[in-house]
């Protein structure tokens, strides 16, 4: 049929296989959270979104910023990619810029006041880079994407200085630091940071422990005040 791209019939067939887990979850959402926050959704639809915080997180299914920070609809602007990487400012680079476009939207259009780069433990993208794993497909998209953290790895020194677990953890932190450095290569990010209108933060989530570490002004990652006491509660 004219106007249909190849494979459209297959897509129509696949559309009938929507996961039951999602349908059930949606019905639960309608009966629960949506009912409780219906007025908030209506307000957001009418007035638009005005989040003050942007989170750059990983695609990892265990590290949902909305869950970790117990966020309501409209509170967080979230962009997720493999290994929570912020690429450097490259306006003339001949590729698409998904993360950079989201960053531009958050800073320039919405005027967010905080950007948080959220790293995490057991990051698959970092492990892929550290182990120099074989490509998962002919396109080798992950290796190309993860090559951006090579400067962070170089700063750590030889891989042999650490055992595999220690090296990965150090690289996870170093990657967050590199992404923060990349953020200020965007001229409009740097301008707002210099003017005190935008603040950049690094954070790191322990998947097994639930512990959140936040980068302080000295560059160290420290626990959130009072959080450890809550983690010790039974």
Q: What's the whole-number mean pLDDT along residues 7-28? A: 81
> By three-state DSSP, how is residue 155 classified?
helix
Q: What pLDDT was estimated at residue 4? A: 52
146 compared with 91, residue with greater pLDDT? 146
* CATH architecture for segment(s) 49-231: 3-Layer(aba) Sandwich (3.40)
Q: Is the pLDDT score of 1 beyond 90?
A: no
Tokens representing residue 49 in the block: 């979104």
Tokens representing residue 119 in the block: 């790293």
Grade residue 232 by pLDDT with cuts at 50, 70 and 90: confident
Q: What is the DSSP string of 8-51?
A: HHHHHHHHTT--HHHHHHHHHHHHTHHHHTHHHHHHHHHH----
| pLDDT, tens digit, 9 for 90 and up, residues 43-91 | 999 999 999 999 999 999 999 999 999 999 999 999 999 999 999 999 8
* CA nearest to 111, candidates 195, 14, 197: 197
- Distance, CA of 57 to CA of 63 (rounded, Å): 8
> By three-state DSSP, how is residue 107 classified?
helix
Rounded to 5 degrees, what are φ and ψ at 78? Answer: -115, 130
- Distance, CA of 19 to CA of 25 (rounded, Å): 10
Q: Average pLDDT of the chain?
A: 92
| pLDDT, tens digit, 9 for 90 and up, residues 156-196 | 988 878 899 999 999 999 999 999 999 999 999 999 999 99
Q: Could you state, in order of their start, the residue ranges of all structural domains in the chain?
A: 49-231
Q: Name residue, tokens 């950049």.
A: 200
Q: Is the pLDDT score of 207 beyond 70?
A: yes
């Amino acid at each position: 049929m004219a106007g249909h791209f190849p494979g459209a019939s297959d897509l129509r067939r696949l559309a009938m296989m929507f996961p039951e887990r999602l349908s059930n979850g949606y019905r639960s959402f309608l009966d629960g959270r949506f009912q409780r926050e219906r007025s908030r959704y209506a307000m957001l639809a009418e007035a638009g979104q005005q989040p003050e915080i942007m989170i750059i997180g990983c695609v990892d299914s265990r590290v949902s910023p909305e869950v970790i920070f117990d966020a309501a609809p409209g509170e967080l602007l979230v962009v997720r990619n493999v290994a929570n990487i912020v690429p450097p400012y490259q306006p003339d680079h001949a590729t698409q810029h998904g993360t950079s476009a989201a960053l531009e939207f958050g800073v320039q259009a919405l005027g967010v006041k905080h950007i948080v780069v959220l790293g995490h433990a057991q990051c698959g993208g970092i492990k892929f880079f550290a182990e120099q794993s074989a490509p998962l497909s002919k396109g080798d998209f992950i290796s190309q994407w993860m090559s951006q953290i090579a400067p962070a790895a170089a700063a750590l020194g030889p891989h042999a200085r650490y055992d595999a677990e220690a090296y990965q953890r150090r690289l996870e932190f170093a990657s967050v630091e590199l992404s923060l450095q990349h953020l200020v290569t965007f001229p409009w990010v740097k301008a707002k940071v210099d003017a005190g209108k935008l603040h950049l933060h690094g954070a790191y989530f322990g998947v097994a422990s639930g512990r959140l570490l936040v980068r302080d002004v000295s560059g160290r990652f420290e626990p959130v005040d009072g959080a450890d006491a809550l983690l010790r509660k039974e």
